Amino acid sequence: MSKLEKKGLVPALRFPEFRDAGEWEGKKIGQISETVTAGGTPSTSEKEYWGGGIRWMNSGELNYKRVHEVQGRITENGLRNSSTKIIPKMCILIGLAGQGKTRGTVAMNMVELCINQSIAAIFPNEDSFYSDFLYHNLNNRYDELRSLSAGGEGRGGLNLQIIKSLRVPLPSLKEQQKIADCLTSVDDLITAQTQKLDALKTHKKGLMQQLFPVEGETVPKLRFPEFGDKGGWEEKPLEKVAIFSKGKGVSKSDISPNGKQPCIRYGELYTHCNETIKTVISFTDVPVNELVLSEANDVIIPASGETEEDIATASCVLNSGIALGGDLNIIRSNLNGVFLSYYLNNAKKKEIARLAQGISVVHLYSSQLQRLNINVPGLPEQQKIADCLTSIDELVTAQTQKLDALKAHKKGLMQQLFPAMDDDCVDAGGRAAQDAKAEVST
C-alpha cells in the first residue's frame, strides 16, 4: 500500500463545504476506469479506408485540449480493418509517443471519434470520477507523465501499463465537480483572452498591409486624412537616406547579470525584441572603448540567422548608449526609425529575405541592404504611422500580460486545489515504466 493510500491526502486549498469531508483517496487509473486503450491507423495505401464520415484524431491534435473537431476522416472499412476504435465522448486522452512536446500531453474529446496508436484513452466512469476533474489533474502532471516514459531518461514512450498504474488522488464526486467547474471557468477566461489577443494581432497585421504601399505602388491603400493630398511616397535606395555599420562582438561569456553596460546580442532580435526596443535584457562589463554603441533611432537587423524569413527582422533602438553586438547590421538615418522598422518588417520583409544568402546559416550584408529601394512619406506622416502601430503594440503587450497572469493564476490554483504528489504516489508508474515494453501496448 502506498503512502497515498495509507495516509490519504488533503489539498492546501479547499472549498468551505468540503473542509470537513476527510482525506482524499488514492487509486490507480486502472482501478477507476474499466477501459484504458490506444487506437490505430488504417493503412494509408488503401484509399477506401479514408475520407469517410468517422472522425479520426492524430496525436498532434491533442494540443486542442478540449477536442471538438479533428481533421482526419476514415470509412467504416478503415475502422474494421485497423486497430483503431470508436472512443466515446469525455475520455481523457494522453499522448504516448514522440520526442517533442506531444508525449504526456493531455486532452479530452468532446465528440465521439477514433484515435491513432500514439494516443491513450481513459474511458469515463461516472461512478468513480468526474471526467473534467481527471482531465485537470492529469493536465497538471505533464512533466511527471513524461518522466515515466519507458525507454530510459524519458527518451522512450508511455504505454498503457504505465497509464493504468498511475495513481490519482480522488475526493468525493461532488468535490471533484466543484474543483473541475472552478478550473474550467478559468480556462474559459484564458480562451476568451487568447481570442482577444489573436484578434488584436490580426488587426495589426491587416492595418500594416494597408498603411504601407504594396510592391510596385507608391501610395498605400489607407492614409490618414491630413496626408491624403500629399501625393505619392518618394522612392529611393536605402543607401541614399542611411549610413550602414556593424555591431562588435559581445559573446555569451561577456554577459553578466551585474554588468553595468546594457547591450543587445543578435539572437535577442528573434526572441525578445519587436519593432521597438525600449528596454534591454543583457548587460556586460566589456570596456566601452571596445564596443559599438547605439544612437537613438538606430535600426538593427541580424547579419546571420537560420532562415531567410527569420533574418528579415528589424528593430528600432530607442535609446543611445546601448552596446550592439556582432552579427548586427546597423542602419542610421534621418528617417523615423520606428516607422522604418515597421516598414521593413512588413512591406519589405520578403524582399529582404530574398537578399539573404546561405544554406545552413543565412547571411545578410549591409552592401545588400544598401541596394534596397524603399518608399517613404514625409516625416510627419512617418511619425503618425509609427505612433499608430506603436499604440497597437502597447495594447498587444497589455493583453499578453493579462493572458500570462491568467495562466499563472490557474497554475497556482491547481497547485493548491490538488494535493502534492510525493514519490510513493507514482511508485507503481515508475515500476511499470521499467517493466513495460517500449512499444505501445494494445
Question: And the C-alpha cell for 155?
Answer: 527518451
Containing 344, the helix (H) or strand (E) segment is: helix 337-346
Q: How far apart are CA 265 and CA 62, in angstroms?
A: 36
Q: What local confidence, expressed as pLDDT, does residue 442 receive?
A: 36
Confidence category of residue 8, pLDDT binned at 50, 70, 90: low
Percent of the chain with pLDDT over 90: 74
The more confidently predicted of residues 437 and 423 is: 423
Candidate from 61-75, 158-172, 347-361, 412-426 with smallest mean pLDDT = 412-426
Q: Where are the beta strands (DSSP E) in 155-288?
A: 167-170, 234-237, 242-246, 261-264, 276-277, 282-284
Residue ranges and CATH numbers for the domains of the chain are: 26-171+423-435 (3.90.220.20), 234-376 (3.90.220.20)
Average pLDDT over residues 88-105: 90
Kindly list the distances between the CA atom of residue 143 and the CA atoms of 99, 106, 148, 214, in Å, as whole numbers in the listed order: 13, 11, 9, 47
Among 51-55, 251-255, 291-295, the least confident range: 251-255
What single DSSP character describes residue 157?
B
Closest C-alpha to 336, from 282, 393, 381: 381
Query: Average of pLDDT values for 147-164?
Result: 77
Q: Read off the C-alpha cell for 421.
A: 504528489
For residue 420, what pLDDT band results from cuts at 50, 70 and 90?
confident
CB 275 within 8 A of CB 314: yes
pTM of the model: 0.81
Burial of 233 (C-beta count, 10 Å sphere; 0-12/13-18/19+): buried
pLDDT in tens, 66-91: 999 999 999 999 999 999 999 999 99
